[in-house]
A = this chain, B = another copy of it.
Amino acid sequence: MHPTTCTGTTAAVPFKVLSIVRVTTVEELFDVRGTPCSFARNNTIASEEAPIERVYRIESGIVRCCSYTEDGLRQIFAFAGPGDLIGFPDLDVWHFTAEAVGPVTARFLKPETLDAALLSEHCIAKALRRHCIGQFERRERHLIWLSHLQSEDRLLAFLEDFGEVATSEGSFVNLPMTRQDLGDHLGMTLETVSRCFGCLKRRGAIEMDGANRYRLRGQQGRATAA
């Protein structure tokens, strides 16, 4: 039907008029229509089972997306960082809990706003589909970590992955979450996480500056020989 020019990256055009302008990317939509908000450390941004009244894009800080089992165990599915989206407009209720690991700033949209954009702009619909699939692939990678890597390599895989997204200051990467958080993400106890940090340091795979800042050192490969 109406052919639409979809540019992948959009330069930050200084919009002042909100009404007529066509918004053709998800990023733009949040920039133009999103409402800023912020959360303190350990605040709950969204609760599992609660109705979805806002969908978020994180601006700064780290959010843990997790689920609590009936026996009180916690599984952290992902740590979401700046630029990441949280929530799908098509769902009625949250399927996970989102909590601020440290201070977090974000922007939110009403699901209806995003829904309307999906109807009128196929580019946005496609971008959202791809986003969903991307998350999907992340979960599958995570599954592979849990079933095929043992603790030390699991932690290393995470650190490599996290380094990609996280802002590295002076080439050290900030790790705002606790050992318990990491354990609940990687399916191991906090003690094992701590021990693995020790092993990785001794092995020379990582360097650390305090307990919460790390830097990868070269291509160290796996502890387990092929």
**Interface residues in chain A, defined as those with a beta carbon under 8 Å from any beta carbon in chain B:** 1, 67, 69, 71, 73, 75, 77, 88, 90-91, 95-96, 118-120, 122, 125-126, 128-130, 132-133, 135-137, 139-140, 142-144, 146-148, 186-187, 226
9 contacts between A and B (CB under 8 A): A75-B144, A77-B143, A90-B130, A95-B133, A95-B137, A95-B140, A132-B132, A139-B139, A146-B146
A-B pairs, top 6 by smallest CB distance, nearest first, are A147-B187, A139-B139, A146-B146, A75-B144, A73-B148, A90-B129
**Closest residue of B by beta carbon distance from A185:** B147
Chain B residues contacting A135 (CB-CB under 8 Å) are: 136
Q: Which residue of B lies closest to A115 (CB)?
A: B126
Residue of A67, A71, A128, A136 most packed against chain B (CB within 10 A): A136
Q: Distance (Å) between the CB of A4 and the closest chain B CB?
A: 11
- Residues A143 and B144 in contact, CB atoms below 8 Å apart: no
Number of copies: 2
Q: Which of B118, B142, B146 contacts A125 (CB 8 A)?
A: B118
B133 with A88: CB separation less than 8 A: yes
Minimum CB–CB distance for A19 against chain B, Å: 19
Excluding A75-B140, A118-B122, 7 further A-B contacts by CB distance (< 8 Å) are: A1-B119, A67-B140, A75-B143, A95-B133, A95-B140, A139-B140, A146-B146
Query: In the complex, A67 Cα to B142 Cα: how many Å?
Result: 12
Contacts of A90 in B (CB 8 A): 126, 129-130, 133
Known contacts A129-B129, A129-B132, A133-B132; is-contact A147 B88 (Cβ 8 Å): no
Assess whether A140 is in contact with B96, with CB atoms less than 8 Å apart: yes
- Across the interface, do A139 and B132 meet the contact criterion of CB distance under 8 Å? no
Given the known interface contacts A125-B125, A226-B71, the answer about A136 and B147 at a Cβ–Cβ threshold of 8 Å is no
Within the complex, which residue of B67, B128, B130, B136 is in contact with A139, where a contact is CB–CB below 8 Å? B136
Residue of B nearest to A95 (CB): B137
